[in-house]
Amino acid sequence: MKRSIAWLDKKRQVAYIRQFPLYMDYSARRLHDEIMRAKHILLVPHQHPDGDALGSVGAFMQWLRELQKPHMAFCPTPISERLRYLPHADYMVTDPAIWHEEKFDLIIVFDSGDLTYAGIQTHIDALPYKPLVANIDHHISNTFFGDINLVYPKASSTSEVLYTFLRENNVVIRRDIATCLLTGLMYDTNNFTNAGTTDRSLVIAGELIHAGGDIHMVRKALFQDKTMHALKLWGTVLGRLDKHDELNLVHTFITLDDLAAHGATDKDTEGIANLLNVLGDGKASLVLRELEGGKVKASFRTTHDDVDVSLWAGLFGGGGHKKAAGFVTEGTIESVREKIMAGIRGNGAVVAEFANQ
Residue 265 Rama label (left phi>0; alpha psi -120 to 50; beta):
beta
Q: Give the predicted TM-score (pTM) of the model.
A: 0.81
Q: Find the DSSP H helices in the chain.
A: 10-17, 22-37, 51-67, 98-101, 115-118, 121-125, 158-168, 175-188, 199-210, 215-223, 228-238, 256-262, 272-275, 309-314, 333-345, 348-354
Residue 337: its pLDDT value, please?
A: 95
State the pLDDT at residue 307.
85
- All residue ranges of the chain with pLDDT < 50 are 1-18, 349-357
pLDDT at 13: 45
Give the C-alpha separation, 255 to 333, whole Å. 8
β 284-291/41-44 pair status = unpaired
Residues 51 and 99 sit within 8 Å (Cβ to Cβ): no
Q: State residue 348's pLDDT score.
A: 52
Taking each helix axis from N to C terminus, what angle separates 51-67 and 175-188, rounded to the nearest 10 degrees? 160
Note the pLDDT of residue 151.
94
Task: Evaluate whether 19 touches 164 at the Cβ level (below 8 Å).
Answer: yes
Task: Return d(Cα 353, Cα 208) in angstroms, integer.
Answer: 38
- pLDDT at residue number 22: 67
Domains in the chain (CATH in brackets) are 10-223 (3.90.1640.10), 229-354 (3.10.310.30)
